[in-house]
Structure 1
């Protein structure tokens, strides 16, 4: 039996704008909570930001994911709990096409993906545990959409803030997002002032520093 709950309230534009400027590695200096373990970006560089649309699949059956894509809204991130299945891929080329058409900003999968070369060409941000040619089926047995799930050791609720890049992935409670985001932004500003003070800003931008020529 499929369980489809109502769509959660999206993350506010104010919070999204704040987190556009924040790196997950900065968040990792401020908290351990919400860090997703064991998932890696499918390609680099990559930036992922949006509201969690959660999906829970019972191993082989991915029918609930089809339903999630139907109700997806712009700015959603699909966060998929494969119930411990580390062998089957629930995500591939045609689901990515559907997600892009709906304005979904990425997918976080506690499981595998397939069609990797096309996903990379599409530039659709994906975090997953691995890659597999063995896929799920749409069997209509059971599954859940917009319920609390578990991904990478983190409980994820519908509407949670998802922030990721090539350094890693965080899930943040919307009620805590502004306080944490402002603290992270201030830390990044302090770091930038330190780069300038120490003369490292060119190195940080990928430009080589040159020693001053001797006047002798």
Structure 2
């Protein structure tokens, strides 16, 4: 299976595994320090199960309302999945639709076969119990049993999309931007900053680890320990 290649990222699989050892709060703080505070998605975009983690470059898709039925939907859907490369995250802009499920089990089955490692859906989800059994990580805004066919359709993919944001109305996600999500939510790392954010976050995590050990030792003076790590 062909791996996703992004300029400036020497080994995406290694980068993914390293991000998975971190947590979103730390990664967000690093981006905030770098002048990138508006990279957190809306707080109601949540994991299907609390222990799910998502990490990988975005494969973006924008959808639109489709009240009459798109005769070319099946062919375009197959073409879209055929363009996915391992490892990628299926990122869907549902176009502010709040009626239907924009992702379900068959999407996950097709996607996983093409190398998709998870999905971030600014919209609705169904087949949730089946997705949980698959162990397939999905972040979504809401659940709906309603079929999308003839109500909502794939419009375009691998173009910038706008997902709801935590601090701004929307967060723009470009193809290849890094999606990182855990129980606290999802952050979007611009592709040109993937490695730098990772490096800084790992350095900060190492310092945090030493601070935890010292704070936990009752023999240490709390104020002295705090003075050493007050920038945390």
- Tell me if both proteins adopt one fold, taking TM over 0.5 as the criterion: yes
Count of aligned pairs: 194
Extract unaligned runs of 5+ from structure 1: 1-7, 201-216
Distance in 2 between residues matched to 1:102 and 1:35, nearest whole Å? 27
Q: In the alignment, what sits opposite 2:158?
A: 146
In structure 2, the residue corresponding to 1:49 is in which secondary structure?
A: strand
Extract unaligned runs of 5+ from structure 2: 165-169, 218-232
In structure 2, the residue corresponding to 1:45 is in which secondary structure?
A: coil
- Determine which of 90, 95, 101 is the counterpart of 1:83: 95
Distance in 2 between residues matched to 1:69 and 1:199, nearest whole Å? 49
User: 1:1-216 maps to which residues of 2 (within 5 A)?
Assistant: 9-10=5-6, 12-13=10-11, 15-30=15-30, 31=32, 32-37=37-42, 38-60=44-66, 63=73, 65-137=77-149, 143-152=155-164, 153-199=170-216
**Equivalent pair of 1:54/1:149 in contact (CA under 8 Å):** yes
Task: Give every structure 1 segment of 4 or more consecutive aligned residues whose post-TM-superposition deviation is greater than 4 Å.
Answer: 138-142
Query: Alpha carbons of 1:173 and 1:21: their partners in 2 closer, same or farther (altered >3 Å)?
Result: same
**Equivalent pair of 2:65/2:153 in contact (CA under 8 Å):** no
TM score, norm. by length of structure 2: 0.76
Query: Alpha carbons of 1:174 and 1:129: their partners in 2 closer, same or farther (altered >3 Å)?
Result: same
Query: Alpha carbons of 1:140 and 1:193: their partners in 2 closer, same or farther (altered >3 Å)?
Result: closer
Q: Spell out, residue by residue over 1:105-152, the C-alpha distance to the aligned partner (whole angstroms, 9 max, x if none).
A: 101111101011101111111111100011211689760010110012
- Aligned-residue Cα RMSD (Å) equals 2.4
